[in-house]
Structure 1
Amino acid sequence: MYRFLLTPRWWGINVFVVLAIPFCIFMGSWQLGKFEDRVDTHQEAESRPAPGEQVAAPLEQLLPVDQETSGRPATATGVYGKQFLVPDRELDGRNGSYVLTLLKTDGGRTLPVVRGWLASGKPAPAAPDGQVTVTGALQASETSGTDGVHTAGGLPSGQLGMISAASLVNLVPDDVYDGWVTLTAADSGLVPVPASVPEGSGLDLKAFQNLGYTGEWFVFAAFVVFMWFRLLRREAEAARDRALGLEPEPV
């Protein structure tokens, strides 16, 4: 009755099943591992002091920016230079701009400094003159997936869509740090911009997406097994009916 399993059609079905089930289990396990990694990272972050509560350290000691150093208070000394507005940034439900001023540090590199948030329509205050020492929360460079960034271009002169070394490379001649700081105490006339939580450090939507994908891959594996048994049963019943003369032989 089951000689049909040796036909080329069923050889193809069996090979597909043999390959599909391990693949689905592997992908489900991989997604589960990603979720567990995020849980472990979240637990480690919870066990450490909050980044903003730690002692400020020189900028160079905290680079490169990672999940441990993101949000840490960093200090740098230099002279303010070119200034930009970063538009369409919300704070407490209000629309405005970040005031981003480039700090030429004593080491020769340039650090983007968000001096604060400014409501739409208001003029940005000038940066302090002379040498200054700034203290602010260290942040990783923004990407196209960061909330509020402009990636399409077309902004007026003096505005910047994304805070990153890549977006500044053609605007300033200096070597720009791959990271930026938001001042702990904003300059006069500005509102402090709170530090953002580093990506992948908490149980956010992406973490639960990993968990959801885990379930989907295991369901796919179970569905493959279910469909194989269903096809097998249907084919066996058809073979039995043909043997009893209840169904004509296939041409």
Structure 2
Amino acid sequence: MLNLLRNPRWQAFTAAALIAIISFGLLSMWQYNRAEEERIEFSAIAERLDSSPAALSYSDDSDAVNWQRVQVTGEYDSDAQLLIRNRPQSGSNGFWVATLLRTDEGATWVVRGWIPAAIGNREPAPTAPAGVITVDGYARTPDNAPARKADDVPIGQASAMNPAGLSEIVAGPQPSAWYVIAANDSSLTPVPLPEATDSRNLSYAGQWLLFAAVVIGGWFFFLRREAAETSEEMNRANSAASV
């Protein structure tokens, strides 16, 4: 059987199989590493979700405080409220209701909750509470997109949760780099917190290993089959020669 490996055709086939196996192995390792990165990232987020509320500075880097529990005290600016488009939740499209909260330190945008698109397109969102209020919630990293991506976005709506861009739309003060997902506004449906899920990357890592196993199995299958056929032909030739 090993004599077949001296055949140039089989040498080329073996080289191609080795390249495929190595490639699939590397892809599997990459997917596994991605899954591990996601696990580590979510572990850090889970710690922040369970931590005591922090007093964040408006200059804090948004990535460093993502999903950190916070308490922010101030007064809502009812004239600075926008609906953030394309925020699906529980299988339905809808809007985030974002309102500017003015504080002693400056201002920060607060996502007070979620409303279905059918309501947001037809009637105003519930007004924010009046007077001084303490918002319990979670700091969030802004969307990496313009607050208004197109000229056809209706008045009172925005395309992305980008605090600086939202303040430009409503001519408000320069806000904090991060925004807050409120956890205590009973007038709106709360925005869900992140949950640990089975990483797709682990499934993909297993699939690439399966592909590598198929190549290995196929290589042995075709090698044994051709070796058997070659041996059978030689036996027939020897039988014919001895007649």
Specify if TM > 0.5: yes
Tell me how far apart the structure 2 counterparts of residues 216 and 93 of structure 1 sit (CA, whole Å): 29
Q: State whether structure 2 residue 209 is matched by structure 1 residue 210.
A: no
1:27 CA drift (Å): 2.4
Correspondence for 1:101: 99
1:225 CA drift (Å): 0.9
User: Do the aligned residues in 1 keep the contact of 2:54 with 2:68 (CA within 8 Å)?
Assistant: no
The residue type paired with residue 210 of structure 2 is V
Correspondence for 2:180: 181
Tell me how far apart the structure 1 counterparts of residues 88 and 59 of structure 2 sit (CA, whole Å): 31
User: Do the aligned residues in 2 keep the contact of 1:58 with 1:76 (CA within 8 Å)?
Assistant: no
1:193 to 185, 190, 194: 190
SS at match of 1:82: strand
Tell me how far apart the structure 1 counterparts of residues 105 and 56 of structure 2 sit (CA, whole Å): 12
User: Do the aligned residues in 2 keep the contact of 1:62 with 1:74 (CA within 8 Å)?
Assistant: no
Tell me how far apart the structure 1 counterparts of residues 55 and 139 of structure 2 sit (CA, whole Å): 10
1:133 CA drift (Å): 7.2
Which structure 1 residue ranges, 5 or more long, are not aligned?
Answer: 145-149, 247-251
- Equivalent positions of 1:78-89 (< 5 A) are 80=77, 82-87=80-85
The residue type paired with residue 6 of structure 1 is R
The residue type paired with residue 224 of structure 2 is R
Which structure 2 residue ranges, 5 or more long, are not aligned?
Answer: 238-243
Q: State whether structure 2 residue 221 is matched by structure 1 residue 224.
A: no
User: Do the aligned residues in 2 keep the contact of 1:116 with 1:183 (CA within 8 Å)?
Assistant: yes
Larger deviation: 82-91 or 213-222? 82-91
Q: State whether structure 2 residue 134 is matched by structure 1 residue 137.
A: no
1:13 CA drift (Å): 0.9
User: Do the aligned residues in 2 keep the contact of 1:168 with 1:176 (CA within 8 Å)?
Assistant: no
Q: State whether structure 2 residue 241 is matched by structure 1 residue 243.
A: no
Correspondence for 1:65: 63
SS at match of 2:98: strand
Tell me how far apart the structure 2 counterparts of residues 4 and 95 of structure 1 sit (CA, whole Å): 61
- Equivalent positions of 1:162-177 (< 5 A) are 162-165=160-163, 168=166, 171=169, 177=176
Correspondence for 2:155: 157
The residue type paired with residue 231 of structure 1 is F
Change (3 A) 1:235 1:127: same
Q: Deviations over 1:177-235 (max 9, x none)?
A: 5532133443xx833634522xxxx5314x1x222122212211111111111111122
Tell me how far apart the structure 2 counterparts of residues 181 and 106 of structure 1 sit (CA, whole Å): 16
Please give the root-mean-square deviation of Cα atoms over the aligned residues, in Å.
4.3
Change (3 A) 1:93 1:245: closer
Tell me how far apart the structure 2 counterparts of residues 165 and 29 of structure 1 sit (CA, whole Å): 38
Q: State whether structure 2 residue 106 is matched by structure 1 residue 113.
A: no
SS at match of 1:58: coil
User: Do the aligned residues in 1 keep the contact of 2:115 with 2:189 (CA within 8 Å)?
Assistant: no
1:18 CA drift (Å): 1.9
Change (3 A) 1:118 1:16: closer
Number of residues of Structure 1 aligned to a counterpart in Structure 2: 230
Tell me how far apart the structure 2 counterparts of residues 166 and 27 of structure 1 sit (CA, whole Å): 39
1:23 CA drift (Å): 2.4
User: Do the aligned residues in 2 keep the contact of 1:78 with 1:106 (CA within 8 Å)?
Assistant: no
Tell me how far apart the structure 2 counterparts of residues 8 and 79 of structure 1 sit (CA, whole Å): 77
Larger deviation: 70-79 or 218-227? 70-79
Tell me how far apart the structure 1 counterparts of residues 94 and 57 of structure 2 sit (CA, whole Å): 28
Tell me how far apart the structure 2 counterparts of residues 111 and 213 of structure 1 sit (CA, whole Å): 40
